[in-house]
């Protein structure tokens, strides 16, 4: 009996270690600072996840195991500069540099032939710029309640930046320094991305929450109307699939994880035959 128990424990340990060995959790140096990556290993086209503004890669954890099992793909999540476990070089920080550095690291890790993108909220801007510098390498994308240049114009970004009180800026600089610098540069980013947002050249599924983002983001009735209209216009372009998550909030997967997982798996399989 003891021998059986021992063998069972050994089997459990081996299975656990095998699962653990398939995940790379590491800090990678680029431009004198380190970025934190968590990568579930796999085969085929990797899926690159871009979190929303101020979030780190931990937000994706509830989705990853099911996506990994269904696709077998490498799943790449990371903390952008100054968020989560990633460091930041405040002397050189810029939106364009962040995306270029991400691209360089992924090439160092052996990726670069093709990608499938998943992005939430402001992560849609990062994913779009990544697609711009990797033209003809993006097989498809799933955008989740994404920000769009249609709403986030230079004027909107300037108004939003100016609306934040001093205590919020102080809190961000101390606790979310990456977000602090993004918001400081938001009007510049909005101007730059006005002509570089992801196009309909590749298949894209847009999942939209039935409930609007909170009032800290959409401060006026005009903002709310524009948010809805901009997403509808984007989601109904040719080669795009527009999906509404009933009852869901801005982080759609918190209330509708099955829907988000299903849409990612479905489009990934269609675009990676």
pTM of the full structure: 0.92
Q: Is the pLDDT of residue 45 over 50?
A: yes
Domain total in the chain: 1
Q: Is the pLDDT of residue 1 over 80?
A: no
**Bridge partner list, 242:** 206
Residue 256 burial (CB count, 10 A): 20
Quick: pLDDT tens for 130-169: 999 999 999 999 999 999 999 999 999 999 999 999 999 9
Tokens representing residue 136 in the block: 């003809």
Give the C-alpha distances (Å, rounded to integers) separating 65 from 37, 263, 269: 16, 15, 16
**What's the pLDDT at 3?**
55
Quick: pLDDT tens for 260-273: 999 999 999 999 97
The Cα–Cα gap between 124 and 2 comes to: 55
Complete edge-to-edge strand list for the sheet that includes strand 23-30: 23-30, 33-40, 75-78, 47-50, 115-120, 138-144, 204-209, 240-245
CATH number at 67 reads 3.40.50.1820
Q: 186: domain range?
A: 2-271
Residue of 102 and 31 predicted with greater confidence: 102
């Amino acid at each position: 009996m003891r021998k059986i128990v021992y063998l069972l424990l050994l089997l459990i340990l081996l299975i656990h270690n095998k699962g653990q060995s398939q995940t790379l959790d590491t800090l990678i140096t680029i431009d004198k600072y380190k970025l934190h990556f968590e990568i579930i290993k796999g085969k085929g086209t990797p899926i690159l996840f871009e979190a929303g503004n101020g979030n780190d890669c931990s937000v994706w954890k509830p989705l990853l195991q099911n996506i990994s099992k269904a696709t077998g793909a490498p799943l790449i999540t990371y903390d952008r500069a100054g968020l989560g476990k990633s460091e930041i070089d405040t002397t050189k920080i810029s939106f364009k540099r962040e995306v270029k550095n991400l691209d360089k690291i992924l090439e160092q890790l052996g990726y670069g032939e093709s990608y499938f993108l998943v992005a939430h909220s402001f992560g849609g801007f990062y994913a779009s710029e990544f697609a711009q510098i990797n033209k003809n390498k993006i097989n498809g994308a799933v955008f989740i309640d994404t920000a769009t240049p249609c709403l986030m114009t230079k004027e909107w970004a300037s108004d939003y930046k100016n609306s934040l009180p001093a205590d919020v800026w102080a809190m961000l600089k101390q606790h979310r320094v990456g977000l602090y610098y993004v918001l400081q540069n938001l009007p510049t980013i909005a101007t730059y991305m006005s002509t570089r947002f992801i196009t309909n050249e590749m298949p894209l599924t847009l999942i939209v929450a039935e409930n609007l983002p909170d009032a800290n983001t959409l401060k006026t009735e005009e903002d709310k109307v524009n948010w809805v209209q901009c997403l509808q216009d984007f989601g109904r372009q040719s080669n795009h699939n527009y999906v509404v998550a009933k009852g869901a909030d801005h982080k759609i997967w918190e209330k509708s994880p099955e829907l988000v997982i299903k849409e990612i798996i479905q489009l990934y399989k269609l675009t990676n035959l």
